[in-house]
Amino acid sequence: MIEEQKLINIEVKELQERVKEFYGQGFRLVQICCTKLAEGLELNYSFDKNFEFINLRINLAVANVEVPSVSNIYWNAFLYENELHDLFGINIKNMAIDYKGSFYRTAVKWPFNPPLDTAKGEGKND
Amino acid sequence: MTKRTIIPFGPQHPVLPEPIHLDLVLEDEKVVEAIPSVGFIHRGLEKLVEKKDFQDYVYVAERICGICSFIHGMTYCIAVEEVMKLDVPERAQYLRVIWSELSRIHSHLLWLGLMADSFGFESLFMHTWRLREAILDIIEETTGGRVIFGSSKVGGVRKDVSDEKLKLIVEKLKKYEKEIKEITDVFVHDASVKHRLVGVGILSKNDAYTLGAVGPTARGSGVSQDMRKLGYAAYRNINFEPIVETAGDCYARCMVRVRELFQSIDMISQAVNKIQAGPIEVKVTGTPNGEFFARTEQPRGEVIYYAKADGDKFLKRLRVRTPTFANIPALLKVLPGSSLADVPVLILTIDPCISCTER
């Protein structure tokens, strides 16, 4: 294996505090991404410091699609968060710059966005 | 109070070969704020992984970018290989290093040409790209392709290169090294180049790090961060230290790329000296089940391929975080306070690849 990659499962309510801890310890925010699961969504927040790679993971139930922005801690997070909103329909609160769905200027609105009231089945434009 | 004007920059602009848009808020000629927009050519290639066999997807990954195509394909392969715990043969690992560094050389030469073009130094642009053609010739000799190599596969590489040809490549690179030195000396010493780059668009070390900048953008600000130090492929056997400059301005970012050209030639030479005879691929059986974040160093910086699989022949998720995407916040940091005339140069110094970003 090239490198050890740590995975920490957390709840949405812990996100701000845990991200603040990483910022305080001098980690950089590497990326944020989302994976659509059979039931709900999975968010990964990746951090790195001197090649120590750690992921915070949040599993979102269908009814729980609202996530606080971490762009107040890592300003660059707003890009990833707008991407999550546009491609996966996740409602991110208090982004540093909120494009309100126009970050990806695609001809078809939010092509990968699953219906917010259910994670079952494919998105409306799939 | 000075009147504010909003100027739309892009998505079509002479300095931008690909579409990205910035809303520039100006006070007279000075930029006070910049808001980016992307997505004009979003291709949905991450989504395509759900419908392509995991071994076939290498061809799609290579087509995410037409400049660092090989490294895209290789990083995808590394992600899948780590999930499947494949032991890739040593010779294939060295060939991956050689092709990666050839990619870096031609990418940096391409960038230097574009940079010369952006400040109107046309003859410098032409000479830089003349040398890039010679590197593309080497790539064509070893892979059959100039843009899309098609040489990486899950479990190793698709093509071998004879030891004689590898030695010949090193000889050619030594010859080109002198020509590259002549051309890059213009970037290093010419007064007109310095006039446009020195002291322009300063990004502090702290900002570069906390804004998540990667590659020459980060290293030009003193952040010693290079994913090749992870030791993927055969980089664990190659002696090198990340090229770092500390001024944080456009000139520093340019100097990092100039110095990396010579470093890449040295790394290829080391790899050719160390490569041993042996197989170039391992047989792949079964399907991937698990997840991994593969991180490699593209010419523009760290790229991430996150692969997640559940035992099916189709991956459940592929996420590609490209270096340009990571460098946009740093660009937005350096634009305020700059002159409108410097905006094209500033955008170019992060070496934006919108094709990558619009994966």
Q: Note whether A41 and A91 are within 8 A (CB).
A: no
DSSP label of B3: P
CA distance A110 to chain B (A): 11
Q: How far apart are CA B318 and CA B295, in angstroms?
A: 13
- Number of inter-chain CB pairs under 8 A, A vs B: 76
Residues B252-278: pLDDT tens digits? 999 999 999 999 999 999 999 999 999
Query: Helix (H, G, I), strand (E, B), or coil: what is residue B40?
Result: coil
Q: What is the pLDDT of residue B354?
A: 76
Domain containing residue A76: CATH number: 3.30.460.80
pLDDT tens per residue, range B122-152: 999 999 999 999 999 999 999 988 888 888 9
Q: pLDDT for B148-183, tens place per residue?
A: 888 899 999 999 999 999 999 999 999 999 999 999
Which residues, 6+ apart, have CB-to-CB distance to B127 below 8 Å?
B183
At B318, list the tokens.
């592929």
Instruction: Check if the beta carbon of residue B146 is closer than 8 Å to that of residue B228.
Output: no
Residue B328's CB is within 10 A of a number of other CB atoms, namely: 22
**Mean pLDDT in residue range B38-43:** 78
The answer to whether residue B29 scores a pLDDT higher than 70 is yes
Based on the structure, what is the number of domains in chain A? 1
d(CA A43, CA A64): 12
Decide if A31 is inside a domain.
Answer: yes
Which residues, 6 or more positions from A6, have their beta carbon under 8 angstroms from its beta carbon? A52, A53, A54, A55
In this structure, is residue A52 part of a structural domain? yes
Q: Are A74 and B210 within 8 A, CB to CB?
A: yes
- Listed residue (B68, B75, B72) closest to B60, CA to CA: B72
Residue from the list B40, B292, B329 with its beta carbon closest to the beta carbon of A76 = B329
Q: Do B306 and A44 touch (CB under 8 A)?
A: yes
- What's chain B's length in residues? 359
Name the pLDDT band for A125 (thresholds 50, 70, 90): very low
> Would an 8 Å CB–CB cutoff place B305 in contact with chain A?
no
Q: Say if the Cβ atoms of B212 and A106 lie within 8 Å.
A: no
* Among B292, B257, B139, residue whose Cα is nearest residue B187: B257
For residue B182, is it left (φ>0), alpha (ψ between -120 and 50) or beta?
alpha
pTM for the whole structure: 0.92
Q: Do A30 and B40 touch (CB under 8 A)?
A: no
Three-state DSSP state, B357: helix
Contacts of B78 in chain A (CB under 8 A): 2
CA distance A50 to B173: 33
Is A73 within 8 Å of chain B by CB?
no
**List of domains in chain B:** 1-42 (no CATH), 43-350 (1.10.645.10)
N residues, chain A: 126
Q: Whole domain around residue A16: which residue ranges?
A: 5-93
Task: Examine residue A19 and state whether it is found in any structural domain, yes or no.
Answer: yes
Q: Which residues contact B195 (CB under 8 A, 6 or more apart)?
A: none
Does residue A126 lie within any of the structural domains?
no
DSSP B35: E
How is the beta sheet containing B301-310 ordered, strand by strand?
B289-298, B301-310, B317-321
Whether the pLDDT of residue A126 is over 50: the answer is: no
What are the pLDDT digits (tens) for A80-94? 999 888 888 888 999
Phi and psi at residue B299, in whole multiples of 5°? -55, -30
Task: Tell me which chain A residue has its CA closest to the CA of residue B37.
Answer: A103
**Does pLDDT of A118 surpass 50?**
no
Chain A residue with minimal CA distance to B230? A2
Cβ within 8 Å of residue B323, ≥6 positions away? B214, B215, B298, B300, B301, B302, B303, B353, B356
CA distances from B87 to A65, B58, B84, B148, B277 (A): 40, 18, 9, 25, 16
**Does A108 score more than 70 pLDDT?**
no
Q: What is the percent of chain A where pLDDT is above 70?
A: 80
Residue B38: list chain A partners with CB under 8 A.
103-105
> What's the token pair of residue B186?
């213009």
Rounded mean pLDDT, B90-100? 96
pLDDT for B313 beyond 50: yes
A118: DSSP letter:
-
pLDDT value at residue B21: 83
For the ranges B13-27, B74-88, B252-266, which has the lowest average pLDDT? B13-27
Strands (E), chain B: 4-9, 21-27, 30-37, 152-153, 156-157, 289-298, 301-310, 317-321
**A104 with B316: Cβ contact below 8 A:** no
Helix (H) or strand (E) holding A63: none
pLDDT band, very low/low/confident/very high, at A122 (cuts 50, 70, 90) = very low
Confidence check: pLDDT of B347 > 90: no
Answer whether residue B315 shows pLDDT above 70.
yes
pLDDT at B92 > cutoff 60: yes
Least confident range from A23-27, A50-54, A101-105, B254-258: namely A101-105
Q: Residue A49: what pLDDT? A: 95
Q: What is the DSSP string of B292-352?
A: EEEEEEETTEEEEEEEEEESSSS-SEEEEE-HHHHHHHHHHHHSTTSBGGGHHHHHHHT--
Span B223-240, mean pLDDT?
A: 94
Tell me whether residue A106 is in a domain: no
Distance between CA atoms of B209 and A27, rounded to whole angstroms? 9
Residue B312 makes CB contacts below 8 A (sequence gap 6+) with B287
Q: Could you give the CA distance from residue B174 to residue A88 in angstroms, rounded to a whole number?
A: 50
Distance between CA atoms of residues B296 and A33, nearest Å: 18
> Does B42 contact A at CB distance below 8 Å?
yes
Q: What ipTM score was computed for the predicted complex, to two decimals? A: 0.90
Closest residue in B to A38 (Cα) is B316
Distances (CA, A) of B326 to A34, A111, B206, B311: 17, 23, 15, 31
A66 inside domain: yes
Flag whether pLDDT at A63 surpasses 90: no
Cα(B76)–Cα(B62) distance, rounded to whole angstroms? 9
Q: Say if A57 falls within a structural domain.
A: yes
Would A104 be classed as within a structural domain?
no
